[in-house]
Structure 1
Amino acid sequence: MKGFYISILLFFFISNGLIAQEIDTIPINTKDLQIKLKHSPLPSRMGSLIFTPLTLPPKVVSAKINYWNTKTSIGINLNQAAFSNNWSGGGVNSMAIAGIINYKTEYRKEDFSYAQEVILNYGKVKNRDQLEKKTVDRIYWDHKVAVQLSKNWYLFGSVNFESQFDKGFSYSRPNNGNEVAALLSRFMSPGYLTESFGFEYKPNKFFSTRIGTGTARQTFVLDTAIHNDKNKNFGVPIGSQIRNELAFQVVTNYDKDIFKNINLKMKYMMFVPYDDIGFTNHRLDVALTAKVNRFMNTSITGVGLYDKNTSSQIQGSQTLSLGLVFIFPR
């Protein structure tokens, strides 16, 4: 009987514990109830913060501003053709080689700028049973200083020199005999030195126009023995070696990538002598260059020239080439 009462008591305590656990887990809505949290009765301590200033030594940066922009390109073109003696299609064994160096540098600081351009171009061709002949031959050296007047206008002064490396000949076969060469030109015969000042219009990087209101040009023919009817002594009086002219000059440059890897470069020059406007000279140089890969390109160039001092008709030349080109810096 005593064990029975003990069992009832254990059942009573266990039942109350389960009921209490179920009541404690019932969620209570605390909305609109003001519940205030009491501070923890446990003691808390905060230490004092000590800030120590840190001294950083100044660092001196050694940096220089480079106001120069330089570009050099070197091109080599080689053409060769060979035929066997029994080649039924006909042809002449030939070898042609040409090279060009184009150097540009520009200094620009605030409103002042200086630019220099050098073009050295020379090429020869040799056909079987014929004399060697030049294909291209040019020396061009230009200097220009400018001071900016407004956003697109500059006051400039320039000096440029132009001539050729090698002798130039005309060729003929009198009485269908051997080929004969007659001397037409050579270095400094002719040679041109041009000084100019005026205004330059440059709205962007790829286009510019110089308007030389005050231009002087000296034409040199140092070898007086080359005079003949074909070159008219390049406008220099017979027996003289130099001719001075004052003129109005316009020089327009265009240099832009018109498509991906395709560049169009043009230069137009007009020279109007003040003492004889009828002998106005015009020259147009055009070069279209397509980049094949990093070291190879193909180009077509043309020159149109109208100069009454050398010919009464328009003169022209054209070349098509595929070759190697190296550009520095890359």
Structure 2
Amino acid sequence: MLKKINVLFVVYLLIMGQISVAQVDLKGLREKPDTNIVKKAQAPVANLQEVSVPIPKLDLEINYWKHWTKFGINMNQASFSENWSAGGVNSIAVGLLGWHKSEYNKNNFQYVTELDLRYGKIRNKEQLAKKNNDRIFWDHKIAHKLSKSWALYFAVTFESQFDAGYKYGRDSETNDEIITDTMSRFMAPGYFTESFGLEYKPDNTFSLRLGTGTARQTLVLDDRISQKENEKDRFGVEQGARFRNDLAFQITANLDRNLSKNLNIKSRYNLFADYKELSDPDHRLDVILTAKVTNLVNVSLTGIMVYNSAEADKVQYSQALALGLTYALPR
């Protein structure tokens, strides 16, 4: 019996030894498989040549300037036959305009110059030609930003006109229209305004200047006007003098905004309050509403309102509706 048990024990040891050897061999294959079972022939590598690719030198510069320009012509015309029963007067009106703006922005510094030139004449049958628009406006502004919307500014503005303005009457004998008096002309009056203060500009379409330190020089360089006895015709300048200086508080608001894709409104309001006469400030409001018909053709409605007690006791106003051609740059 003992002999059979020994034999079975020996057989058991032999079987376990074989299993251990097999496990060792399999474990070796799993950890380090032979990946070079099939050897592939490598393709021959062609001779390579170095190619020199030129790299362009980029000469990049930041342009801090922006420029805008507009110039155009407006025309109105009406004619009637001699037997036109409803009545009417043959007339023709021509207006010219030129506008330019340049703007420089770098960090917190800004410089803006704006030039606005307008001149127009109207001629009715059997009447003398009269101007219906005449303006020279040139504004320069330097500003330093204090925050996103506020800045300190200094501005210089020049205003005058191109042509003489006349008063008209009738000849007592022929009843023809004649010139009876000269009311204004170039540099009679002419205005220079220097202003310093704070500017509020929340976006590129609106700005508001508060000029706490403002000086304005009024010049009348035509003796026919400076020698007038009526002070209202000398724009506040004393009789015989050619110059007047005023210190004042000034408010200037500018709006240039697109109301729709083809409709734009541009306006400028100016209040000038002389420190000696704060209760009687001067006011001027210019509004231009422009509707674009095509890239060149547009319809414009212009309105001007002025109150200056040195010129007239009541509010002065003018209005014009015109169809014209306007070319703008950049396109």
TM-score, shorter chain, exceeding 0.5: yes
Q: CA deviation at 1:180?
A: 2.6
What is aligned with 2:278?
Answer: 277
Task: Give TM-score scaled by structure 2 length.
Answer: 0.83
Residue equivalent to 1:288: 289
Q: CA deviation at 1:174?
A: 6.0
1:249 to 2:243 alignment: no
Match of 2:38 in 1: 42
Q: Deviations over 1:13-41 (max 9, x none)?
A: xxxxxxxxxxxxxxxxxxxxxxx998674
C-alpha spacing 1:228/1:174, structure 2 compared with 1 (3 Å) = farther
Q: Quick one: distance in 2 between partners of 1:89 and 1:73?
A: 39
Quick one: which amino acid aligns to residue 318 of structure 1?
Q
AA in 2 matched with 1:219: T
Is residue 164 from structure 1 mapped to residue 161 from structure 2 by the alignment? yes
Give the CA RMSD over aligned residues.
2.6
**1:19 match:** none
2:178 equivalent in structure 1: 180
Separation (CA, whole Å) in 1 of partners of 2:256 and 2:166: 33
SS in 1 for 2:235: helix
Residue 20 of structure 2 corresponds to which residue in structure 1? none
Structure 2 CA distance for partners of 1:85 and 1:210, relative to 1, 3 Å: same
Q: Which position in structure 1 is the counterpart of 2:320? A: 319
CA contact (8 A) 1:230 1:311 kept: no
The residue aligned with 1:79 is 76
Assess, with a 3 A threshold, how the Cα gap between structure 1 residues 283 and 45 changes in structure 2: closer, same or farther.
Answer: same
For residue 303 of structure 2, what is the amino acid of its counterpart? G
Deviation, structure 1 residue 70: 0.5
Task: Tell me, yes or no, if the aligned pair for 1:113 and 1:146 is still in contact at 8 Å.
Answer: yes
Aligned residues: 295
Q: Hey, what does 2:194 align to over in structure 1? A: 195
Amino acid in the other structure paired with 1:167: A
Distance 1:132 1:65, change over 3 A: same
Distance 1:90 1:228, change over 3 A: farther
Give me the whole-angstrom Cα distance separating, in 2, the residues matched to 1:44 and 1:83: 102
Three-state SS of the structure 1 residue aligned to 2:224 is helix
1:102-161 C-alpha deviation (Å, 9 max, x unpaired): 111101111111100001100001111101101000000111111111111111111010
Deviation at 1:234, TM superposition (A): 0.2
Which position in structure 2 is the counterpart of 1:223?
222
* Cα distance, 1:54 vs structure 2: 9.2
* Counterpart AA for 1:284: L
State the Cα deviation string for residues 23-75 of structure 1 (Å, max 9, x = none). Answer: xxxxxxxxxxxxx99867433467999x9999877642012211111011012
Gaps of 5+ in 2: 1-29
Q: Distance in 1 between matches of 2:171 and 2:230?
A: 18
Q: Which amino acid aligns with 2:321?
A: L
The within-5 A match list for 1:141-152 is: 141-152=138-149
Cα separation, 2, equivalents of 1:244 and 1:160: 14
2:211: which partner in 1? Answer: 212
- The residue that corresponds to 1:309 in the other structure is 310
Do 1:107 and 1:115's aligned partners in 2 also have CA atoms closer than 8 Å?
yes
Cα distance per residue 1:246-279 (max 9 Å; x no partner): 0010100011001120001111100010112133
Match of 2:112 in 1: 115
Inter-partner Cα distance in structure 2 for 1:230 and 1:324: 41
Q: Which runs of 5+ in 1 are unaligned?
A: 1-35
